[in-house]
């Protein structure tokens, strides 16, 4: 079973849609198909660039696509509930135990609250997920009522995650419109995520760099 087949699966589609609807009701930014597809593609890019085989790249993309389905159950501990859901889905679809183990471990460890980059799969998923900061994830159309998460995401007009040519570092390069949010706002809500990204990069044998508006901050 491939990543593209997973994307076409009706049940998975419904779970992702319903999970995002729950988050919308709670006031969270977009966690729907745009987000999970971006995470899947970035995770695949990371492992492919580092020379992992095609099947491993395919599997980490599947992990990226499924990583937020636990929000269907509850936002709290969604990585763990998502891992359990993914286990059942993948088992029914005929994935072997080794592939399920890799995917479930990554999903269960992607959240900064409890996650640890215990594997290369988990590390790639963490970096892909935490780097998806962008203006069009904000649902609130009234700038006056933006909370800090809205301001920070809306302020990011450009975000690029890239591995260096010599494959020694991975850089998250952000362009922030300070009219809507400051660099300090970004650090206030994303510091734990950036620390987790640094640990994830180390798991992959890389150094993590954060560059905002041309200035290296990490």
pTM of the predicted model as reported, rounded to 2 decimal places = 0.95
Question: Domain coordinates of the chain in residue numbers?
Answer: 3-216
CA dihedral sign, ordered 9, 10, 13, 19 = negative
Residues 6+ apart with CB under 8 A from 169: 163, 201, 206, 207, 208, 209
Write the pLDDT tens digit of every residue in 122-142: 999 999 999 999 999 999 888
Residue with more model confidence, 39 or 27: 39
Q: CB count, 10 Å around CB of 160?
A: 11
pLDDT band at 147 (very low <50, low <70, confident <90, very high): confident
Q: Which CATH class is domain 3-216?
A: mainly alpha
> What confidence tens digit (pLDDT) does each residue in 181-199 have?
788 888 888 889 999 999 9
Q: 184 or 109, which is more confident?
A: 109
Structure tokens at 177: 């419109």
Backbone angles phi, psi at 193, to 5 degrees: -65, -40
């Amino acid at each position: 079973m491939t990543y593209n087949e997973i994307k076409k699966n009706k049940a998975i589609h419904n779970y992702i849609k319903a999970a995002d609807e729950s988050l919308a009701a709670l006031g969270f930014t977009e966690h729907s198909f745009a987000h999970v597809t971006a995470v899947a593609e970035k995770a695949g890019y990371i492992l492919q660039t580092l020379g992992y085989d095609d099947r491993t790249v395919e599997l980490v993309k599947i992990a990226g696509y499924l990583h937020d389905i636990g929000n269907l159950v509850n936002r709290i501990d969604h990585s763990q509930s998502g891992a359990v859901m993914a286990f059942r889905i993948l088992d029914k679809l005929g994935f072997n135990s080794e592939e399920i183990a890799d995917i479930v471990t990554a999903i269960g460890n992607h959240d900064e609250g409890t996650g640890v980059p215990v594997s290369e799969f988990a590390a790639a998923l963490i970096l892909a997920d935490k780097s998806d900061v962008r203006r069009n994830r904000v649902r609130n159309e009234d700038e006056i009522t933006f909370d800090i998460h809205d301001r920070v995401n809306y302020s990011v007009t450009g975000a690029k995650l890239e591995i260096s040519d010599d494959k020694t570092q991975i850089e998250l390069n952000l362009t922030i419109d300070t009219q809507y949010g400051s660099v300090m706002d970004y650090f206030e809500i994303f510091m734990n995520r950036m620390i987790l990204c640094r640990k994830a990069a180390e798991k992959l044998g890389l150094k993590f760099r954060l560059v905002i508006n041309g200035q290296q901050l990490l």
